[in-house]
Amino acid sequence: MQNKIGINTMYYQIKTKVIIVDENGNGKKESHTHLVEAVSWTDAEKKVNEHLEGFEFLVKGIVPTKIEYIDQSGGKNYYKCGIALVEFNDKGKETQIKMQCVFQADDIAEAQQKVMEVFKENDIESVSISLYKLTDIF
């Protein structure tokens, strides 16, 4: 995928440990998972450092993903969706294209409804949807 200026980007999943200090001054470690659009591992780490500036945190891992589409149109949860689309090549031969997407929705039924709406022009062969524990996407 290309960003706004034509540079190829991808999404990286970054796991962090963040120390959250409550109103009594007590620190508590929390695990967070972020999805970051970046051009490289280094760019992804730079973006998470900027995003969490002011917090005490540790980057625990950076993993490239195969996510190609993200819908953040609202909802309290994120859902990771695996989709198999059927397309025909120029010779009429059927091919299957698999892709991963993330949809923001209140529940699985709403996520499935959003998948069907976004891909209504395509012949969808199968869809798998699961809750994706993300803190944020940036």
Q: Per-residue pLDDT tens for 114-137?
A: 999 999 988 888 889 999 999 999
pTM of the predicted model as reported, rounded to 2 decimal places: 0.84
Q: What 3-state DSSP class applies to 96?
A: strand
How many C-beta neighbours within 10 Å does residue 121 have? 5
Residues 27 and 83 in one domain: no
Count of the separate structural domains present in the chain:
2
Query: Is 14 found in the same domain as 58?
Result: yes
118 belongs to a structural domain: yes
Domain shared by 74 and 111, yes or no: yes
Full domain range(s) for residue 116: 68-132
> 61-86: per-residue pLDDT in tens?
999 999 999 999 999 999 999 999 99
